[in-house]
Structure 1
Amino acid sequence: MPRLKRDERVCPFCAETIKASAIRCRFCQSDVTPVVEPEAEAQAPANPFARYRSRSRSGSAVEESVEPVSEESEESDEPVSDQVTDESDEPVAETVPTAPRRTPAFRRLTLVLAVLVALAAAGVGTMWWRAEHGSAASTPSGTLVGEDARTEVLIAAADLAQRTLSYDYRTLANDMEVARARMTPRFRKEYDTTMAQVRANTTKNQIVLQAVAVSSAIISATEHKAKVLVFLNQTTTAGTGKKANQQMSRNSLVITLTRGDGDWDISKLTALG
């Protein structure tokens, strides 16, 4: 198919070559819409793209490149500026949205918040680690939160309650020494006074008192002091053989424990009934 000229086009009905500005095909007599107005044909090219041709020195090869340019640039052969102008030929600045400007106060506040979050995370992580590893971790208020440490408090309270309230008339002196070994000096004096009053009756009536802790719960606990509610079953046996008299009772106690550098010691015992 021969190359079309700049002022030619193909009829959409018969495919014959006709003028670009024709309003009727001269071959099939069909009405067609002109590509450009007849009066503007001499001024504006049929193709909206300017064509620049360059030939080799021999003239045998033809290279054609098509680039979009404006009508003014085609006439003046000068590069077209990318800057958009309005009717007054003044440059129109392109508005680019920018991020809100951060003030120094905002940056300082952000830094402080980041530091506080990091410290809080480190504190929670440390408490969790210590609790998981059974250490005596505590909150800023002093409350004991380590699981193993709190379990140790419960076991100590149950054990010391049983030692204090259990004795046998046959081994009374030894039982008292075992109990006194885990008492604070002040509570030891109270214990000695009480046992001095019951010693004679215990030996005379051959009394065996056996206390068994069935459950316990922490009321409050820190690293150095704790209050524990202990539920006890106490069995009292008086006499021996067929004349033995046995009674069982259930008691509730509040055991107060204190600890220095060593084990928990009992410092107070309050019977709830």
Structure 2
Amino acid sequence: MEAVDPFDSALDLLRRLNPKHTSDHLNSIISLAPDLTEDLLASVDQPLTVKRCRDTGREYLLCDYNRDGDSYRSPWSNKFDPPLDEAGAGAGGVGAAGSEGAGEGAIPSERVRRMEVKANEAFDVYRELYYEGGVSSVYFWNLDDGFAGVVLLKKSSTPGGSSQGVWDSIHVFEAIERGRTTHYKLTSTVILSLSAAAGGSLGDMDLSGNMTRQVEQDLPVDTDDSHIANVGRLVEDMELKMRNLLQEVYFGKARDVVGDLRSVGSLSEGARDRETQREIIGSMRR
């Protein structure tokens, strides 16, 4: 009998559990299989957590791409909180070839850090235009033949009402530089959670899920600012497509199912209307 891979089994289990509680489920699995900790944290998208930068007082988002152990790097100050000791900081940073990764104290090179700062400023404006609130964070790191990064966006509804919702966007990209053009590979995940308390005998509604899409494209590049514009355009287009899919396909399908179970109007009247429509179409064809 073929051996079962514990990592695949853990991912398979997480796909079948409520996405709203992914973090709790992930922590439970890690406690049972500590050897899978790093692989699971790097592979499973979790709802984003907000933290406040000690130096600037601005909020930023936590993910595996700005994490080193239990410390997280702020995109505003470029410092880890809690601070890393010298041994931890030395494990990352600029290597002999000038390349850094995400994690293990890795701090982007000066050029990539400048782009990271501009990207955070650009997506802060993007967040205000499309979300009118929420929190955004962008993190870059070096690759041998370019750079990579992640764009994070989070918006929660105002607490205290009968309806609550949380939208988390995670856009991970690679930019492979090829002279005057760059090959971009973008992987986007949206985690959406909605709940409504109707009260009384109607009960509560809890609807949550996630969606992942990927796109690759070659775009021209003149300066480093072109990278910010190209990534921004890719993220904007992807978010609009995924939002429309959620609204038209998923919620539309839920509405169709409810309509099949319980009609708003009389079913007999609906049947007569459809029969009349068929007769009109048939007469037009004749």
TM-score (norm. length: structure 2): 0.23
Larger-Rg structure: 1
Q: Return the structure number with greater strand share.
A: 2
User: Whose helix proportion is higher, 1 or 2?
Assistant: 2
